[in-house]
Amino acid sequence: MSRFALITADPTPIVHGAAGLQLQRTNVAMNAFVEAAVAAAGGKPAAAAIAAGALVATGLLFAVIARPSVAPPRRLRVLITGATKGLGRALAAEFLRNGDAVSICSRSTADVESAVQMLGGGAAGVRGLRCDVAVAGDVAALFAFAKREMGGIDVVINNAGCNFSSCAPLELHSADAIARIVGTNVVGTLLCCREAIQCMKRQPAGGHIFNIDGAGSAQHATPSYAVYGCSKAGLPQLMRSLVAENRDTGVGIHTASPGMVITDLLLGKAGLPKRSLRIFNILAERPETVAAWMVPRLRAIALRGLHATEQARKAATGPVATRAAVTGADSVHARAGQHGAGTAGSGRDESQDVATHGPLDLPAARTLSGTYTKFLTPASAIWRFALFPWARNRLVDEDTGLPIAVDGSATPPGAR
């Protein structure tokens, strides 16, 4: 893993605007940057030019040092849970934009069908299945579906989560609400990790699992959200345990932290105080912004890990492993063509071509697991608070509580 894999961008209106050059999202971000620089200089053109030059240089420096590591290109096969809306759907769209094959799921068949259609359908390389991740049978069926459709699974993103459904002290939570939150966030993550590890251990290049964290992961108090915070607090420990269990197997376990993301789950609570809405405008981001920053970094981690594992097994077992890897890759591309023609894939599941692999004789494999990719860091939070005057009504109308659309209009939750 590159030493820069844990370095995060500084997504303030200024630094993130300049770093947007790397992500090909410059127009809106740079306009916001110029406006901020002019305002900071008191409207003086010469001073504004100096401020703009200095801040662009700073932003470009962040863009360079936070650039994802380079690895041999390949088409990844990605499974994302909870991917029919919000961050999950934005992640799916970004992986598809990179040419990857994607499988998605959610508890609602209608939501899955709608999201698949919105993402471009089979022709775009996306497919979906209804799945309640808290039910073992559903999870087993989901992974069987994804392996059959894509020929294997290189990346699993455990994004499904029951968020702040009940904003209340613990004693006011119903037993059903507690069971639902813990079932989705804890049991669901464990079941998906189990299935993913079983699948990836049988693949020549292994695979990588990314668990999405949330409030509570950093061990801070989450008053009125105690159940949710408790369900997320165990993720760092889970990563450490699974990294140790899967050392030298080619299966990487990671955590990804998207920070505060503007979604219906965040804004769907009535009567939010104005102070909370102001915090959202300062610290939060739209799902598409987070996904555009995060996916290149997750892909870089996975690509480096897959390549290293493949090379280690090639060196250890010779042409047998090489043939298996090529067969799996050819199967995916052939299946993509079949989906493009509207025909169900019939290629062989790559994980059935080889038996479960033993430990790899590759010290570097131990460094290809256990990464923690963070979108929002303490340093970037300080930058954002320093620029709070420009954050008013950036994402949420602080008077009405309605999210602000990209075109600047207020839209009710669920209409986005």
Q: What are the backbone angles phi and psi of residue 157, rounded to the nearest 5°?
A: -115, 110
For residue 8, being part of any structural domain is answered with: no
Q: What are the backbone angles phi and psi of residue 116, rounded to the nearest 5°?
A: -60, -45
Q: What are the backbone angles phi and psi of residue 267, rounded to the nearest 5°?
A: -100, -5
Q: How confident is the model at residue 231 (pLDDT cuts 50, 70, 90)?
A: confident
For residue 123, being part of any structural domain is answered with: yes
Gap between the Cα atoms of 409 and 224, Å rounded: 31
Burial class of residue 221 in the structure, from the number of CB atoms within 10 Å of its CB (0-12 exposed, 13-18 middle, 19+ buried): exposed
Instruction: Give the pLDDT of residue 380.
Output: 85
What is the residue whose two structure tokens read 């994804």? Answer: 146
Instruction: Give the pLDDT of residue 20.
Output: 30
Instruction: Give the pLDDT of residue 95.
Output: 98
Q: For the segment 301-333, what is each residue's pLDDT rounded down to a tens digit?
A: 999 999 999 888 887 776 544 444 444 444 444
Gap between the Cα atoms of 16 and 171, Å rounded: 42
Identify which of 297, 367, 369 has the alpha carbon closest to the alpha carbon of residue 11. 297
Instruction: Give the pLDDT of residue 143.
Output: 98
Least confident of 134-143, 165-174, 226-235: 165-174
Q: Which domain holds residue 127?
A: 77-309+363-374
Q: For the segment 91-108, what is each residue's pLDDT rounded down to a tens digit?
A: 999 999 999 999 999 999
Of 36 and 239, which is predicted with more confidence?
Answer: 239
Angle at 15 between CA 14 and CA 16, to 5 degrees: 95
For residue 316, being part of any structural domain is answered with: no
Number of domain units in the chain: 1
> How many percent of the chain have pLDDT more than 70?
63
Angle at 364 between CA 359 and CA 368, to 5 degrees: 90
For residues 343-353, give the mean pLDDT. Answer: 48
295, pLDDT greater than 70: yes
Q: How far is CA 325 from CA 204, 338, 405, in A?
A: 6, 20, 45
Is 225 part of the annotated catalytic residue set? no
In this prediction the pTM is 0.75
Q: Residue 105 belongs to a domain with what CATH number?
A: 3.40.50.720
Name residues whose C-beta falls within 8 Å of residue 295's C-beta, 6 or more positions apart in sequence: 91, 94, 95, 98
Q: Which helix (H) or strand (E) holds 64?
A: helix 45-65
Q: How confident is the model at residue 161 (pLDDT cuts 50, 70, 90)?
A: confident
For residue 211, being part of any structural domain is answered with: yes
The crossing angle, in degrees rounded to 10, of helices 226-233 and 235-245 is 20
The 372-374 sheet, strands edge to edge: 126-130, 101-106, 77-80, 155-158, 207-212, 251-257, 372-374
Instruction: Give the pLDDT of residue 387.
Output: 83
- Cα torsion for 154, 157, 158, 160, to the nearest 10°? -130
Instruction: Give the pLDDT of residue 209.
Output: 98
237, pLDDT greater than 80: yes
Instruction: Give the pLDDT of residue 167.
Output: 72
376, pLDDT greater than 80: yes
For residue 398, being part of any structural domain is answered with: no
Taking a C-beta distance cutoff of 8 angstroms, is the pair 158, 255 a contact? Answer: no
For residues 120-133, give the mean pLDDT. Answer: 95
Most confident option among 2-16, 147-161, 261-275: 147-161
Instruction: Give the pLDDT of residue 141.
Output: 98
Angle at 378 between CA 375 and CA 381, to 5 degrees: 75
For residue 332, being part of any structural domain is answered with: no
* 3-state SS class at 29: helix
Instruction: Give the pLDDT of residue 243.
Output: 95
For residues 171-184, give the mean pLDDT. Answer: 88
Set 62, 228, 280, 293: catalytic member: 228
For residue 96, being part of any structural domain is answered with: yes
Gap between the Cα atoms of 83 and 105, Å rounded: 6
Taking a C-beta distance cutoff of 8 angstroms, is the pair 202, 354 a contact? Answer: yes
For residue 411, being part of any structural domain is answered with: no
Q: How confident is the model at residue 214 (pLDDT cuts 50, 70, 90)?
A: confident
Instruction: Give the pLDDT of residue 61.
Output: 53
Q: For the segment 33-72, what is each residue's pLDDT rounded down to a tens digit?
A: 444 544 554 555 555 555 555 555 555 555 444 455 556 6
Instruction: Give the pLDDT of residue 210.
Output: 98
